[in-house]
Protein backbone atom coordinates (compact mmCIF):
# COMPACT_ATOMS: atom_id res chain seq x y z
CA UNK A 1 0.00 0.00 0.00
CA UNK A 2 1.29 3.45 -0.91
CA UNK A 3 1.95 5.76 2.02
CA UNK A 4 -0.53 8.63 2.17
CA UNK A 5 -0.37 12.12 3.61
CA UNK A 6 -3.42 14.14 4.63
CA UNK A 7 -3.65 17.59 3.04
CA UNK A 8 -6.24 20.29 3.39
CA UNK A 9 -6.77 22.33 0.23
CA UNK A 10 -8.88 25.29 -0.79
CA UNK A 11 -10.22 25.49 -4.34
CA UNK A 12 -12.10 28.18 -6.23
CA UNK A 13 -15.85 27.49 -6.23
CA UNK A 14 -15.90 26.36 -9.87
CA UNK A 15 -13.16 23.81 -9.32
CA UNK A 16 -14.75 22.54 -6.12
CA UNK A 17 -18.04 22.12 -8.00
CA UNK A 18 -16.20 20.15 -10.69
CA UNK A 19 -14.73 17.83 -8.06
CA UNK A 20 -18.18 17.26 -6.56
CA UNK A 21 -19.69 16.67 -10.02
CA UNK A 22 -17.05 14.03 -10.77
CA UNK A 23 -17.94 12.25 -7.53
CA UNK A 24 -21.71 12.50 -8.18
CA UNK A 25 -21.23 11.06 -11.67
CA UNK A 26 -19.68 7.95 -10.17
CA UNK A 27 -16.38 8.45 -11.99
CA UNK A 28 -14.62 8.90 -8.64
CA UNK A 29 -15.39 7.84 -5.09
CA UNK A 30 -13.75 10.78 -3.32
CA UNK A 31 -12.26 14.24 -3.75
CA UNK A 32 -8.87 12.67 -3.08
CA UNK A 33 -9.27 10.41 -6.12
CA UNK A 34 -10.20 13.38 -8.33
CA UNK A 35 -7.22 15.44 -7.16
CA UNK A 36 -4.86 12.45 -7.45
CA UNK A 37 -5.98 11.80 -11.02
CA UNK A 38 -5.57 15.50 -11.85
CA UNK A 39 -2.05 15.53 -10.43
CA UNK A 40 -1.14 12.41 -12.40
CA UNK A 41 -2.38 14.13 -15.57
CA UNK A 42 -0.31 17.21 -14.68
CA UNK A 43 2.80 15.07 -14.17
CA UNK A 44 2.16 13.35 -17.50
CA UNK A 45 1.82 16.71 -19.25
CA UNK A 46 5.01 17.98 -17.62
CA UNK A 47 6.87 14.86 -18.77
CA UNK A 48 5.54 15.35 -22.31
CA UNK A 49 6.72 18.96 -22.37
CA UNK A 50 10.12 17.89 -21.02
CA UNK A 51 10.43 15.24 -23.77
CA UNK A 52 9.43 17.81 -26.42
CA UNK A 53 11.99 20.29 -25.13
CA UNK A 54 14.77 17.71 -25.03
CA UNK A 55 13.95 15.93 -28.30
CA UNK A 56 12.62 18.63 -30.61
CA UNK A 57 13.55 22.04 -29.28
CA UNK A 58 17.17 21.22 -28.46
CA UNK A 59 17.65 19.51 -31.83
CA UNK A 60 16.13 22.50 -33.63
CA UNK A 61 18.33 24.89 -31.69
CA UNK A 62 21.44 22.83 -32.50
CA UNK A 63 20.42 22.86 -36.17
CA UNK A 64 20.03 26.64 -36.06
CA UNK A 65 23.43 27.07 -34.38
CA UNK A 66 25.03 24.92 -37.08
CA UNK A 67 23.35 26.96 -39.85
CA UNK A 68 21.70 30.23 -38.74
CA UNK A 69 20.16 30.65 -42.21
CA UNK A 70 17.61 27.97 -41.21
CA UNK A 71 16.14 30.37 -38.64
CA UNK A 72 12.81 32.15 -39.04
CA UNK A 73 12.37 35.72 -37.83
CA UNK A 74 9.99 36.19 -34.89
CA UNK A 75 7.72 38.55 -36.85
CA UNK A 76 7.37 35.91 -39.59
CA UNK A 77 6.43 33.27 -37.01
CA UNK A 78 3.81 35.64 -35.59
CA UNK A 79 2.38 36.23 -39.06
CA UNK A 80 2.19 32.48 -39.66
CA UNK A 81 0.33 32.03 -36.37
CA UNK A 82 -2.11 34.83 -37.22
CA UNK A 83 -2.71 33.38 -40.67
CA UNK A 84 -3.33 29.93 -39.19
CA UNK A 85 -5.83 31.32 -36.70
CA UNK A 86 -7.64 33.27 -39.41
CA UNK A 87 -7.87 30.13 -41.56
CA UNK A 88 -9.16 27.99 -38.69
CA UNK A 89 -11.94 30.51 -37.92
CA UNK A 90 -13.35 30.26 -41.42
Average pLDDT over residues 57-81: 91
pLDDT reading at 1 higher than 70 = no
Long-range contacts of 33-39 (CB under 8 A, 24+ apart): 35/9
pLDDT for res 88: 82
Predicted confidence (pLDDT) per residue in 11-59, tens digit: 999 999 999 999 999 999 999 999 999 999 999 999 999 999 999 999 8
Please give the torsion angle defined by the CA atoms of residues 38, 43, 46 and 50, in that order, rounded to the nearest 10 degrees.
-160
Instruction: Give pTM, 2 decimals.
Output: 0.67
pLDDT reading at 76 higher than 90 = yes
State the CB neighbour count (10 A cutoff) for residue 64: 13
pLDDT reading at 68 higher than 80 = yes
Amino acid sequence: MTARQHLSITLPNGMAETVEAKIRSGAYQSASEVIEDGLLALLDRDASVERWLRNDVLDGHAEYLADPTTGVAADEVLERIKAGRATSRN
